[in-house]
Amino acid sequence: MIACFGGTFDPVHNGHLEAAKEVLTRAVCEEVRLIPCHIPPHRGVPHASPAHRLAMLELAVADCPGLVVDARELTRDGPSYTVETLRSLRQDYGPDVALGWVLGVDAAATLEAWEAWQRLPELAHLLLLDRPGVSLPTSGPVADLLAPGLTDEVADLHRVPAGHTWRVRQPQQAVSATEVRRTLATGRSAAHLLPVPVWAYIRQQGLYGCHGVPGHSAESE
């Protein structure tokens, strides 16, 4: 199975990498493709440019076997709709390869707001990351769409190319990109939240208001 993990990655942080590695291992994937979003349909414009976010992702996965950066959304005009990305991936991999789309349970609960959301299970399995205090809806249109394909069996994800919903049940990470940006905006180090080369890149480029921020996490404590 090929798993795909979309997001703004603004910036990519340790939580992203740990989640991607959990999916890679637990779902027995050939690879996990991290796909940076160009224009998010449901949130503000990212703080860092597409070029910077892509560069940080490439640095982050350089020493992570099985994690691959996929820049297809950055080359597409207009909002980055998941359904369009999955259709593009299907064209690349064909109808018979199992594809999984990674998203948080919190995002899954808002699927009704997504473009052509009812089509998603036709194109890929949905691989759900747990979020603190958030549960899947048990009634309503989203529940009706996901319930028939719910499974706890990894083998089910490999038997068919799409259609199942599976909980990754990874250790929950408290870190978020918002926390990283907030930390940097207050002049503190974010070294403990970021892959080493990403932290170095942010400091070098002065991203997220990072000017003269100390280089080691111990200095921020």
| Residue range 163-208, pLDDT digits in tens | 999 999 877 777 899 999 999 999 999 999 999 999 999 999 999 9
| Residue range 58-79, pLDDT digits in tens | 999 999 999 999 999 999 988 9
Clarify whether residues 143 and 213 are in a common domain.
no
Q: Which of 127, 147, 167 is the last residue of a domain?
A: 167
Assigned domain for 96 exists: yes
Residue (of 18, 26, 17) closest to 69 by Cα position: 17
**Helix, strand or coil, per DSSP, at residue 141:** helix
Clarify whether residues 17 and 122 are in a common domain.
yes
Q: What percent of the chain has pLDDT over 70?
A: 94
Assigned domain for 195 exists: yes
Assigned domain for 172 exists: no
Clarify whether residues 26 and 105 are in a common domain.
yes
What is the reported pTM? Answer: 0.91
> Which residue(s) pair with 56 in the sheet?
none
For the chain, what is the total number of helices (H) and then of strands (E)? 9, 7
Domain that holds residue 208: 177-220
Q: From CA 50, how far away is CA 164, in angstroms rounded?
A: 32
